[in-house]
Amino acid sequence: MPKKTTKQHVPGTRLRPLYQRTFIRQWREYREMSQEELAERVADYLRENEISEKGYTYASIGRMENGRIPYSQPIMEGISRALRVPVATLITTPPPNPGEPFPPDPATLLRLWNEGARSSGNNSPSAIPGNKAKRAGESR
């Protein structure tokens, strides 16, 4: 009779994150919200936008926070709305530490950039550092 073989368990490989990590958990904790409350708000968003009638579970929120399941655009939009931060922020930026200012949203950054260029009196492309566009009357 052949000998029975068993799989060797390698510690740390079974529950390893498979998908890109996000800052969802950090933002949820920053907003002092439970996984259950966030899941309810995501479910409300999905129903309001006629994306899904099924709802969303706290277990799915936890799996997404840990990189065990992928996120989709509608889910990220629901989470973004519930946590009051842009989707891009959930993926790229942790919340501020206590006492630090809140990170500006992309629209504010663009507005500030444009205002800075206008206030400098030179808003041509060549005024941007590193831009190799020719200035009027300049030869190379």
Residue 98 lies in a domain: no
Residue 54 lies in a domain: yes
DSSP state of 127: G
Residue 86 lies in a domain: yes
Residue 8 lies in a domain: no
What's the domain count of the chain? 1
Residue 39 lies in a domain: yes
Residue 108 lies in a domain: no
| pLDDT in the model for residue 75 | 95
pLDDT digits (tens), the chain, 140 positions: 555 555 555 555 555 668 888 999 999 999 999 999 999 999 999 999 999 888 899 999 999 999 999 999 999 999 999 999 999 999 988 999 888 887 777 777 788 888 877 776 655 555 555 545 444 555 54
Residue 36 lies in a domain: yes
Helix axes 73-83, 35-48, angle to 10 degrees: 120
CATH number at residue 86: 1.10.260.40
For residue 47, give its domain range.
Answer: 24-92
For residues 56 and 39, what is the distance between their CA atoms, to the nearest angstrom? 5
For residues 70 and 68, what is the distance between their CA atoms, to the nearest angstrom? 7
Residue 30 lies in a domain: yes
Closest-CA residue to 71 (of 51, 84, 89, 90) = 90
